[in-house]
Amino acid sequence: MVVWTDQERACIQDIFSKLNYEVAGPKALQRALIVYPWTQRYFASFGNLYNAEAIMSNPKVAAHGVVVLHGLDRAMKNMDDIKNTYAELSVLHSEKLHVDPDNFRLLADCLTIVIAANMGTSFTADVQAAWQKFLAVVVSALRRQYH
Amino acid sequence: MSLSDKDKAAVKALWAKISPKADDIGAEALGRMLTVYPQTKTYFAHWADLSPGSGPVKKHGKVIMGAVGDAVSKIDDLVGGLASLSELHASKLRVDPANFKILAHNVIVVIGMLFPGDFPPEVHMSVDKFFQNLALALSEKYR
């Protein structure tokens, strides 16, 4: 079972309270698709992903970025049982979407960069540690139902 | 994933912007690595103080970024240019190469934090590739 300190809980709540899901979600997904282009394999139905400009202006990418962040919101609201909160999502990503779980880490890293850019120096080492611990738990929960 | 001319140009352009703050970036990145990935502290057990902002961390952050700057200047032949550094890491330091990725991630986070306007996704990609190639050159002599 994941043990969260009060400081870690406060950090995560604080980050989410400052996050504009409509902005950060799209930015993170766009960044992942550009920095790690092989991730585009999962979005063949999204239309034009031909180059960075196309990705940045693609409305389906933007919409999906928001979906991802709302998913993370659920984890944040259920921090003491992310494992079960994400059980269905894990099955979805494994059996329907067939996403290589390594991609979760790539998207997580891109979201971290977006948040760091947004928060500037208030994204201290301790805040980063709490945030990355949260993302690691999320990624682990998403991988859990793979077989 | 070798570096294209576009990647090299992007890395050099970014380095020109960030090099005045190289020491700070190095210290920040190293401090974060030690905090966020505590297993990396095992390589620095001989330091008196491993906390972010401490003397040893600042000093070593400067050393690391100096080497990164050197690598930027040798971007056309990283393996050749970093041969002696690779020898050092292989035979003396014996840092598990998985850690190069971890340090690179933290340098990238700090760049994104301090220079958000200069770090759009395309530049991020080139920098990520650069660090990947740097890590490869650094592990060249390992076995």
* Per-residue pLDDT reduced to its tens digit, B38-83: 999 999 999 999 998 999 999 999 999 999 999 999 999 999 999 9
Looking at the 3D structure of chain B, how many domains does it have? Answer: 1
Is A1 inside a domain boundary? no
Give the pLDDT confidence score for residue A1 in this predicted structure.
81
**Segments forming the whole domain that contains residue B112:** 5-139
pLDDT for residue B34 = 97
- Is B138 a residue whose pLDDT tops 90? yes
Pairwise CB contact (< 8 Å): B35 & A31:
no
User: Residue A52: what pLDDT?
Assistant: 96
- Domain count for chain A: 1
Q: Which residues of B touch A129 (CB under 8 A)?
A: 35-36
> What is the DSSP-derived secondary structure letter of residue A83?
H
Is A52 in Cβ contact with B31 (below 8 Å)?
no
Instruction: State the average pLDDT for chain B.
Output: 96
Chain B nearest CA to A134, separation (Å): 12
Following DSSP, what letter does each residue of A58-69 receive, concatenated? -HHHHHHHHHHH
- Show the domain range for A42: 6-146
Nearest by CB to residue B36, choosing from A56, A113, A125, is A125
Which parts of chain A register pLDDT below 70? none
Looking up residue A44, the CATH number of its domain turns out to be: 1.10.490.10
CATH of the domain at B131: 1.10.490.10
Q: Which of B31, B139, B42 is nearest to B91 (CA)?
A: B139
Average pLDDT, integer, range B105-130: 98
Q: Give me the pLDDT at residue A93, please.
A: 94
pLDDT of A143: 94
Sign, Cα dihedral of B53, B55, B60, B66? positive
Q: Residue A2 corresponds to which amino acid? A: V
What per-residue confidence (pLDDT) applies to B78? 97
The C-alpha of B77 sits at a distance from chain A's nearest C-alpha, in angstroms, of 23
Question: Which among B35, B105, B121 has CB closest to A52?
Answer: B121
Calculate what percentage of chain B has a pLDDT beyond 70: 100
Q: What percent of chain A has pLDDT over 70?
A: 100
Tell me whether residues B36 and A128 touch, CB distance under 8 A. yes
With both helix axes pointing from N to C terminus, report the angle between A21-35 and A59-77 in degrees, rounded to the nearest 10: 110
Distance from CA of A90 to the nearest CA of B (A): 26
ipTM: 0.88
Predicted pLDDT of residue A79: 97
